[in-house]
Amino acid sequence: MMTIALDRIDTKLLGVLQDNGRATNLELAEAINLSPAQTLRRHRRLEEAGLIRRYETRLDATALGLGVVAFIQVKMERGHIRDLGKFIKLVVELPQVLECFSVTGQTDYMLKVVERDLKSLSSFLLDTLMRIPGVSSVNSTVCLEELKSTSALPLLG
């Protein structure tokens, strides 16, 4: 990713794209008060610089029968540094794992997981996650209600 200086128009363009990734070039141009050609040039420059990672559709998990969201803390066995690569490779391939972070503190990883129900979550924890080599313990917290969920970053400038 190359570093580029952002002006207020770039920041506005990124904001519009975060709100509506399906906006046409004409809609983007109108929103940022530039010509379509200038808008397209800026848009491509932001993509090429790696500031725009990808475009995606956010689905409704509950409507798809995935009613349980859990945050899982994973602690790895000490001295099993060779298992970290295996752990990461397996976890990133699990479709239930929406996010995975290496963290500081009492645990090594924090996962955001979605499952159909509590029984499915229990099965995932016991039959999948705890069986990964090097995993010492897991601690799960079930989400009762989603109050905010966004991937939009705060744009400064």
CATH number at residue 88: 3.30.70.920
Write out the residue range of the structural domain in which residue 13 sits.
8-48
CATH number of the domain within which 31 lies:
1.10.10.10
Instruction: Supply the pTM of this predicted model.
Output: 0.86
Assess whether 127 and 81 both reside in one domain: yes
Residue 53 lies in a domain: no
Give the number of domains in the chain.
2
Instruction: Say how far apart CA 3 and CA 126 lie, in whole Å.
Output: 44
Buried b or exposed e, range 76-88, using 16+ CB within 10 angstroms? beeeeeeeeeebe
Assess whether 134 and 78 both reside in one domain: yes
Assess whether 91 and 32 both reside in one domain: no
Number of H helices, E strands in the chain: 5, 4
Q: Tell me the mean pLDDT in the region 19-25.
A: 95
Residue 148 lies in a domain: no
Residue 24 lies in a domain: yes
pLDDT at 1: 59
- Look at residue 47 and tell me whether its pLDDT is greater than 70: yes
Residue 56 lies in a domain: no
Sheet holding 68-76, edge to edge: 97-102, 109-115, 68-76, 135-142
Instruction: Say how far apart CA 86 and CA 89 lie, in whole Å.
Output: 5
Query: What share of the chain in percent tops pLDDT 90?
Result: 85
Residue 149 lies in a domain: no
Of 36 and 78, which is predicted with more confidence?
36
Residue 63 lies in a domain: no
Residue 75 lies in a domain: yes
Position 157 confidence tier, pLDDT thresholds 50, 70, 90: low
Assess whether 115 and 83 both reside in one domain: yes
Instruction: Say how far apart CA 33 and CA 6 lie, in whole Å.
Output: 16
Residue 59 lies in a domain: no
Instruction: Say how far apart CA 88 and CA 95 lie, in whole Å.
Output: 13
Rg (CA), the chain: 20
Give alpha helix (H) positions in the chain.
Answer: 8-19, 25-32, 36-48, 82-93, 118-123
